[in-house]
Amino acid sequence: MVSNKFFAIVAGVGPGTGRSVAIRFSEAYPVVLLARSPESYNSVVAEINKAGRKAIGITADATDESSLKSAFETIKKELPDLKLAATIYNVRPNSRPSRKPFLELTLEDLDTSLNGNIRGLFNFAQSILPLLLGSVEHSPQPPTLIVTGATASIRGSAKWSVIAAGKSGQRILTQSLAREFGPLGVHVAHAIIDGGIDVPDATHYPRNEGTPDNRISPYAIAESYWYLHTQHKSAFTQELDLRPFIEHF
Amino acid sequence: MVSNKFFAIVAGVGPGTGRSVAIRFSEAYPVVLLARSPESYNSVVAEINKAGRKAIGITADATDESSLKSAFETIKKELPDLKLAATIYNVRPNSRPSRKPFLELTLEDLDTSLNGNIRGLFNFAQSILPLLLGSVEHSPQPPTLIVTGATASIRGSAKWSVIAAGKSGQRILTQSLAREFGPLGVHVAHAIIDGGIDVPDATHYPRNEGTPDNRISPYAIAESYWYLHTQHKSAFTQELDLRPFIEHF
Amino acid sequence: MVSNKFFAIVAGVGPGTGRSVAIRFSEAYPVVLLARSPESYNSVVAEINKAGRKAIGITADATDESSLKSAFETIKKELPDLKLAATIYNVRPNSRPSRKPFLELTLEDLDTSLNGNIRGLFNFAQSILPLLLGSVEHSPQPPTLIVTGATASIRGSAKWSVIAAGKSGQRILTQSLAREFGPLGVHVAHAIIDGGIDVPDATHYPRNEGTPDNRISPYAIAESYWYLHTQHKSAFTQELDLRPFIEHF
Amino acid sequence: MVSNKFFAIVAGVGPGTGRSVAIRFSEAYPVVLLARSPESYNSVVAEINKAGRKAIGITADATDESSLKSAFETIKKELPDLKLAATIYNVRPNSRPSRKPFLELTLEDLDTSLNGNIRGLFNFAQSILPLLLGSVEHSPQPPTLIVTGATASIRGSAKWSVIAAGKSGQRILTQSLAREFGPLGVHVAHAIIDGGIDVPDATHYPRNEGTPDNRISPYAIAESYWYLHTQHKSAFTQELDLRPFIEHF
């Protein structure tokens, strides 16, 4: 049953992780989807609403303070009586330089990574943490912030320099938030997604079954995020890894 | 509903993690409890059977090859038609030297830690991995081995030398098994339990609610182990940490 | 004897690590000191030149591409025939927010950390790596880039969020460069300075002896950096830690 | 000049690291070489003595308490007035199973690894730490214990299970000793040797130059160990890695 007291926010929505996580959390909460363009969330919002649950899409850029501020004003207007229970930061930088020799990269490539991975999370966390703190006494599950990491979050591979700089900074920022806000009752967790993500067609849900062996099912990621959200406060996970069973690591 | 095709084994049972994990897995599978003395498992076996589910206790010492071999012969006799779906290695060394200056420790203290943490896991893994491999094609969940780690698994603190040597060796052994058996379809996971575990009285189940803020509810650990067992093979977690929300780390 | 074929650059000079490293490397090479203001390098440049060795101070801001570009043009003019053998990135962000609750930090605090720690290193590395590559065949020691890290490079402590985000991103960027440029013959190393640094008065050199037990002697750091620079290419260290013997870690 | 007040011990001597380390430390101290058979140390002892420095070989098995005890009695008799300044634990297990599927390994394979890597270090550390503590006030360099680690010390690769269990337990034991004995003035360090070691012919010393690109020069390892030994107590390194410049990591 969908809550009429709490809602969730998924920042960063595309056809993979963002969509699956939004769908999974919509089984319990109205969900707000944030993305830089409506094309990213429109079909997911429609899919959730069509299923009789509730989703709202808002165009916002987490790397832009005023854009995010305006998004949270819209949220307040649209869901005036709901408290925030769960948030997922799943933003991908605007563009990702492919694996590239360091000397061919530009400062702009670096900034794209720092913006999407670190500055966006900083802004988002500053917006949502006061709301999550306000839910600690009320929420059936500990209020939660989950951040989507990657292999590059813990490893600077050759030619992944700017992506790794952004993802590792994001990871340690998340860890710092976990240490500060955990004792206040907010669960902050980081997931290291170690592998390529399948983009399933939307005809079934959930649809782990069709996932090729070398891909991660985004539905499985969504289940893990939901599990993190429902962990009892006596046993919070700060970090877990997720990878296909055949993945070399 | 309890399976009539698969069973689970919990090696190392006491009133904390072992009991909770056995109870949780007994909701889905008949469970075999291994411990060095019947006193360790008798009440848990009774508790599970009384609840209309199935548990068998077997006295065995995982650090002793022939004792373990005999235990697996008993299992084969008692559950002749069942396949193995899930295993948990939760053995504590026979005795644990308290936090002790290195020069006051004896080789016997070290051996106690190496035996319980590494050699016991080695023997146990050699017994169960062929059975888990035999279940890959059949089990609804990927066949699973979960190992209970601790803070000392990743950190050699002053005066924790022998415990840390055993737990860290155990962790890396588990990691090695994950890398070898994951691609064969067996899920091998390690949980870093970072904090003291509550020993709840047995009147309620589950009973996270009564856990003091500075303790981990063993029921919450059991839920996490169950979650690990049910992860889709496209998104295996190799390691996660679990700690009370107020724990300093 | 000071080389007449190779020189070194120390980016980020103050009375602690930067000064000591510059003095140490000046025993072998003419050194270029980069800092945002002449006050930071003037006395060190004078100290080195007075000792009969060679130092040049250049005002430059590594976080500013054009400022750095202009600095390297000056270097080329001042040391036209020398090749680059060693570089140290020791820049501190312009200002460091003290340990601060996350919700009291501003995006400006974050940017200060990202600029000094990551963007500055990115710019500096793009400037010096082509020069170091050009020295591989000639330099008696493998051409070297050493980056000064900190405890926050590997740990996001509560209330150290923005510093930790910057330092950890810097560390992984360095690691990525090590993996890309090591096989090309350039030694890229990262030093985790875990403790407070003593600022000795300048009357003796070297002067490890006066260092209080809970402080790191910057001369000892300088010796370590020199050791890293002189490692044979068959045994490069990518990372080491440095801390006072009594430091808790 | 070789000290007439202090000596060093190298436990584990063969034609690679052990020999080079013994030679390097013999430039400063009389050295005691411990190995399980005289064949392992005879030629190195001869080489050092022939060079006009001092080496003593003692047959001892660090994994055997009484063998080690007897070795230290011999040391006391042979070098009655010298204090212990530096110790290196470089023991390789008696035999090493090649990379092997887990289910083909025996408990004996595991024990070989645990014995050589963990139990031997435990015995050795219990023997030498009281002596090192007794040198703290006197030794020109902080009394030192250095332990030779490997890639398997931090990574459980597939099919490296028993080696990784031993090496990782050894690493964390070393870390624990560093945390306990560092504040007492003893420097305990761990070196991760990440790559194959060259075995140079003995005609030149030092002879880094002939090392193939994909091998580590044992002389370079020896230099690193000497550097660790000479670090000022205000800037101890607990762990460093060493690998060939072209090594993939």
Q: What's the residue count for chain D?
A: 249
State whether A160 and C174 contact (CB < 8 Å): no
The pLDDT mean for chain D works out to 95
**Residue whose token pair is 């720092």:** A114
What's the rounded Cα separation, in Å, for the pair A130 and A87? 12
At residue A218, the pLDDT reads 96
> What region does A185 belong to: left with phi over 0, alpha with psi -120 to 50, or beta?
left
Per the listing, tokens 């009440």 go with B43
Three-state DSSP class for residue D243: strand
**Whole-Å CA distances, B153 to A115, A196, B239:** 35, 29, 11
Q: For residue D227, give the nearest of C217, C219, C227 by CB distance.
A: C227
All residues of chain D having their beta carbon less than 8 Å from the beta carbon of residue B159 are: 176, 180
Gap between the terminal Cα atoms of chain B: 39
- Chain B residues lying within 8 Å of A246, measured CB to CB: 182-183
Nearest CA to CA, how far is B77 from chain A (Å)?
32
Q: Is residue A249 part of a domain?
A: no
D221 chain-C contacts, CB cut-off 8 A: 235
Alpha-carbon distance of D195 to C74, in angstroms, equals 41
Distance in Å, alpha carbon of C51 to nearest chain A alpha carbon = 37
The reply to whether B19 falls in a domain is yes
Torsions phi, psi of A68, nearest 5? -70, -40
Write the DSSP assignment of A2-30 as a string of letters. Answer: --SSEEEEEES--TTHHHHHHHHHHTTS-
Smallest CA–CA separation between C249 and chain D, in Å?
7
**Is the CB of C176 less than 8 angstroms away from the CB of A169?**
no
pLDDT computed for residue C99 by the predictor: 83
Q: Do D231 and C220 touch (CB under 8 A)?
A: yes
For residue C207, what are its two tokens?
A: 């002067």
Q: ipTM of the assembly? A: 0.96
- Report, as an integer, the average pLDDT of B131-143: 96
Cα C32 → chain centroid: 12
Kindly list the residues from chain A whose CB atom is less than 8 angstroms away from the CB atom of residue C172.
152, 155-156, 164-165, 167-169
Q: Residue B161: which of D110, D157, D177 has the nearest Cβ? A: D177
Instruction: Say if the Cβ atoms of D245 and C238 lie within 8 Å.
Output: no
Contact C224, D231 (CB under 8 A): yes
- Is C112 within a domain? yes
**Out of C122, C156, C177, closest to residue A173 by CB:** C156
Who's near C76: CB < 8 A, 6+ residues apart? Answer: none
- Per CB-CB distance under 8 Å, the chain A contacts of C123 are 107
Residue D61 has pLDDT above 70, yes or no: yes
Tokens of B1: 């509903």
Instruction: Please determine, for residue B188, whether its predicted confidence score (pLDDT) is greater than 90.
Output: yes
Least confident window among A14-18, A39-43, C198-202, D139-143: C198-202
Report residue A204's pLDDT band, with 50, 70 and 90 as the boundaries: low
Percent of chain B residues past pLDDT 90, beyond the cut = 92
3-state percent breakdown (helix, strand, coil) of chain D, nearest 5: 45, 20, 35
Q: Which among A182, A227, A242 has the least Cβ separation from residue B227?
A: A227
Asked whether residue A153 is assigned to any structural domain, the reply reads: yes
Residue given tokens 């055997």 in the structure block: D64
Using the CB atoms, write b or e for C146-176: b if 16+ within 10 Å: bbbbbbbbbbbbbbbbbbbbbbbbbbbbbbb
Within-domain flag for D249: no
Interchain proximity C173–A164, CB inside 8 Å: yes
Residue A195, domain CATH: 3.40.50.720
Mean pLDDT of A33-51: 96
Burial (CB < 10 A; 0-12, 13-18, 19+), residue B232, is buried
φ, ψ for residue A103, nearest 5 deg: -75, -5
For chain B, the C-alpha Rg in angstroms (whole number) is 17
Sequence-distant (≥ 6) Cβ neighbours of residue D179 within 8 angstroms: B156, B157, B158, C249
Whether A187 has a pLDDT exceeding 80, the answer reads yes
**At residue A87, does pLDDT exceed 80?**
yes
Q: Report yes or no on B1 lying in a domain.
A: no
pLDDT of residue A200: 84
Residue B247 forms part of a structural domain: no
Distance CA D33, CA B83 (A): 54
Token pair recorded at residue B118: 């590494």
Q: Do B249 and A238 touch (CB under 8 A)?
A: yes
Selection from D130, D120, D93 nearest residue D108 by Cα? D93
Q: Which of A26, A37, A61 is nearest to A205 (CA)?
A: A26
Quote the pLDDT of residue A8.
Answer: 98
Instruction: Give the C-side interface with D, CB within 8 Å.
Output: 142, 179, 182-183, 185, 187, 198, 208, 211, 213, 215-217, 219-221, 223-224, 227, 231-247, 249
pLDDT (average), residues B133-151: 97
Asked if pLDDT for residue D204 goes beyond 70, the answer is no
Residue type, D233: K
CB contact under 8 A, C235 and D221: yes
**Which of chain A's residues have a Cβ under 8 Å away from the Cβ of B221?**
235
State the residue for tokens 């080389």: C3
pLDDT band at D206 (very low <50, low <70, confident <90, very high): confident
- Domain enclosing residue A54, as ranges: 6-202+210-242
Cβ-based contacts of D214 with chain C (< 8 Å):
none
Contacts of A106 (CB under 8 A, 6+ apart): none
Cα–Cα dist C103/A72, whole Å: 16
Distance (Å, whole) CA C160 – CA A199: 37
B touches which chains (3+ CB pairs under 8 A)? A, D
Q: Please give the pLDDT value at position A207.
A: 77
| Residues of C in Cβ contact (< 8 Å) with A155 | 172, 175
Task: Concatenate the DSSP letters of all residues of A172-211 into one string.
Answer: HHHHHHHHHHGGGT-EEEEEEE-SEEP---TTSSS-GGG-
Structure tokens at B111: 């051996």
| C178: nearest CA partner in chain A | A158
Chain D residues whose CB is inside 8 A of the C182 CB are: 245-247
The total domain count for chain A is: 1
D182–C246 C-beta distance less than 8 A: yes
Tokens matching residue C36: 């945002």
The contact set of B with D (CB < 8 A) is 65, 101-103, 105, 107, 110-111, 114, 118-119, 122-123, 125-126, 129-130, 152, 155-162, 164-181
Backbone angles phi, psi at A153, to 5 degrees: -70, -25
As a whole number of angstroms, the distance between CA D82 and CA D4 comes to 7
Q: Identify which of B155, B166, B177 has the shortest CB distance to residue D161.
A: B177
Is the per-residue pLDDT at D92 higher than 70? yes
Residues of D with CB under 8 A from a CB of B: 65, 101-103, 105, 107, 110-111, 114, 118-119, 122-123, 125-126, 129-130, 152, 155-162, 164-181
Give the burial class of D95: count Cβ atoms within 10 A of its Cβ; 0-12 exposed, 13-18 middle, 19 or more buried.
exposed
**More confident of the two residues C177 and D97:** C177
Tens of pLDDT, residue by residue, chain C (249 residues): 899 999 999 999 999 999 999 999 999 999 999 999 999 999 999 999 999 999 999 999 999 999 999 999 999 999 999 999 999 999 998 776 668 999 999 999 999 999 999 999 999 999 999 999 999 999 999 999 999 999 999 999 999 999 999 999 999 999 999 999 999 999 999 999 999 999 887 666 777 888 999 999 999 999 999 999 999 999 999 999 999 999 999
Query: Which residue blocks in B27-137 are alpha helix, DSSP H?
Result: 38-50, 65-78, 107-114, 120-133
Average pLDDT over residues B183-191: 98
Q: Chain C: give the shortest CA distance to residue A46, in Å.
A: 34
Judge contact between A177 and A188, C-beta under 8 A. yes
Residue D248 domain flag = no
Shortest CA distance from A190: residue in chain B: B240
Tokens of C118: 């990551």
Among C65, C123, C176, the strongest candidate for a mutation testing the A interface, having the largest count of A CBs within 10 A, is C176
> Looking at the predicted structure, is the pLDDT value of residue B200 above 90?
no
pTM over 0.90: yes
> Among residues C226, C207, C227, which one has the least CA distance to residue C217?
C207
Position B204 pLDDT exceeds 90 = no
Check B103 against D165: CB less than 8 A apart. no
Give the Å distances, CA to CA, from B101 to B117, B159, C249.
Answer: 20, 5, 17
Half-sphere exposure of D75 (CA within 13 A, CB side): 28
Residue of D nearest to B168 (CA): D169
- Give the pair of three-digit tokens for residue B46: 């009774």
pLDDT at residue number D200: 84
pLDDT tens, residue by residue, C127-142: 999 999 999 999 999 9
Residue B202 has pLDDT above 80, yes or no: no
* Nearest residue of chain A to residue C154 (CA atoms): A172
